[in-house]
A and B are shown apart, each in its own frame.
Chain A
């Protein structure tokens, strides 16, 4: 099935143990069709999992499952080293194809709303801090559009506004579905910088992508359709 990293002995003090995302035997059905079966992986803090595979193989389904938006047909997933009763979805930011940006609100209003609405995760093992909304917009190079209705932003600017949401509320797991879509080369480099910063502060990233991402600490999960061995992970150190 999958190659799991070496299982360490469970640490006695849970609070100080490093953050770990554990998915066990995930099975998903969508529209009466089995997307994948018995998919297991473990992701330590500071690492990114790059999900690759052909179109329609279930990359987006996997991300939406991890986000708690698609119900599991079997298996379990949880975050180790955090608060016990929190589901994985509440540790995670989902950065999908849709931007969740309201065109009638200004860029800043959109961002301020998400900052106060999304509950942030504060745990010892994750050092991410909340960036003030204005600063996040400036970091992403759309500071000058703060007072502009988001409907007037270009596709790339809207994408960056959606990305700013991940910065204003600290959450250790980033689930990113094709994060580079609609971004130009410069913003793509900036996105990589932000992703590496996130990994550096002890966060985790699960991303489905077709482009090569130069992330600091990457593992690849390649989804394949072949029946006997459906999935395969291989270690990469980039």
Chain B
């Protein structure tokens, strides 16, 4: 696992940094979604603060979906995927490492940008910290669940939209517990830890189910 895993991780990270700056595109999209909301909702600061965590979470979900369709497709188009299937490495681990690299390149920048965007939504520092923490724990689940959709739609030319339709229903639990954990941190009587631990559990479950399901889909896609 050691050296080939590191090689794969470095390669994927290098590719996503060099091609089109996917991190920057994701963050810009996140910014666009979040800044457009106050214009639609109106200048009600209390309302913005109340729905702020939810907006940040929805923005992160959409920004994550944006880059996912290329996760396996780029490798399939140039024949890399065929060689990965023959390489003699466990495909589930290959998927997990690719997801990890993808998250570092696209998910982590969203987490870093979240506190800044929180200012736009009139979030107080506690709420900002809570949203950032829940995004840090929850966005890996979005990438890993998205990997299933990416693997299923890998052979489709315009699979991006289908991918979103497939993935969004599966991402709803993550969204629910992410937002409720962030809300619980802001509103006192509700315990923060309960939804937060469930969110963590969802990420861990996705780390098992995502790679296994995606690897299965990729094996069939080679035909």
A114 B83 Cβ-Cβ under 8 A: yes
A119 B82 Cβ-Cβ under 8 A: no
Once the chains are docked, how many angstroms separate the CA of A105 from the CA of B18?
8
**Segment among A18-26, A36-44, A67-75, A200-208 that sits at the interface with chain B:** A67-75
Asked if A113 meets B7 with Cβ closer than 8 Å, knowing A70-B222, A100-B79, A104-B18, the reply is yes
**Contact of A89 with B by CB under 8 A:** yes
User: Nearest CB to that of A92 among chain B residues?
Assistant: B86
Once the chains are docked, how many angstroms separate the CA of A113 from the CA of B19?
17
**Contact of A109 with B by CB under 8 A:** yes
Once the chains are docked, how many angstroms separate the CA of A101 from the CA of B8?
14
Asked if A113 meets B11 with Cβ closer than 8 Å, knowing A67-B86, A68-B85, the reply is yes
Once the chains are docked, how many angstroms separate the CA of A165 from the CA of B86?
13
**Contact of B88 with A by CB under 8 A:** yes
Q: Which residues B26-84 have CB closer than 8 A to chain A?
A: 78-80, 82-84
What are the interface flags for A204-237 relative to B under an 8 Å C-beta threshold, 1 for contact and 0 otherwise?
0000000000000000000000000000000000
CB-defined contacts of B85 to chain A, threshold 8 Å: 68-69, 89
Once the chains are docked, how many angstroms separate the CA of A69 from the CA of B221?
9
Q: Which of A96, A109, A119 contacts B87 (CB 8 A)?
A: A119
A69 B18 Cβ-Cβ under 8 A: no
A105 B15 Cβ-Cβ under 8 A: yes
Q: Which of B8, B80, B84, B89 contacts A102 (CB 8 A)?
A: B80
A-B contact count (CB 8 A): 76
User: Nearest CB to that of A114 among chain B residues?
Assistant: B83
Asked if A99 meets B78 with Cβ closer than 8 Å, knowing A68-B85, A69-B85, the reply is yes
A116 B78 Cβ-Cβ under 8 A: no
What are the interface flags for A178-205 relative to B under an 8 Å C-beta threshold, 1 for contact and 0 otherwise?
0000000000000000000000000000
How many A residues touch the partner, as a band? 20 to 34
CB-defined contacts of A96 to chain B, threshold 8 Å: 79, 82
**Contact of A126 with B by CB under 8 A:** no
User: Nearest CB to that of A29 among chain B residues?
Assistant: B223
B11 A105 Cβ-Cβ under 8 A: yes
Asked if A104 meets B15 with Cβ closer than 8 Å, knowing A69-B222, A118-B88, the reply is yes
CB-defined contacts of A97 to chain B, threshold 8 Å: 79
**Contact of A30 with B by CB under 8 A:** yes
User: Nearest CB to that of B74 among chain A residues?
Assistant: A102
Once the chains are docked, how many angstroms separate the CA of A113 from the CA of B10?
9
A101 B89 Cβ-Cβ under 8 A: no
B78 A70 Cβ-Cβ under 8 A: no
Once the chains are docked, how many angstroms separate the CA of A109 from the CA of B14?
10
Once the chains are docked, how many angstroms separate the CA of A96 from the CA of B89?
20
**Contact of A174 with B by CB under 8 A:** no
Most buried by B among A90, A100, A105: A100
Q: Which of B15, B78, B89, B223 contacts A119 (CB 8 A)?
A: B89
Q: Which of A69, A102, A113, A116 contacts B223 (CB 8 A)?
A: A69
CB-defined contacts of A113 to chain B, threshold 8 Å: 7-8, 11
Once the chains are docked, how many angstroms separate the CA of A54 from the CA of B49?
69
| 7 residue pairs from A and B, CB less than 8 Å apart | A70-B222, A89-B88, A99-B79, A109-B11, A116-B3, A116-B7, A119-B4
Given contacts A68-B86, A118-B87, 11 further A-B contacts (CB under 8 A): A69-B86, A70-B222, A70-B223, A86-B88, A89-B85, A90-B86, A92-B86, A94-B83, A100-B82, A105-B11, A118-B83
On A, residues with C-beta under 8 Å from B are 30, 64, 67-71, 86, 89-90, 92, 94, 96-102, 104-105, 109, 112-114, 116-119, 165
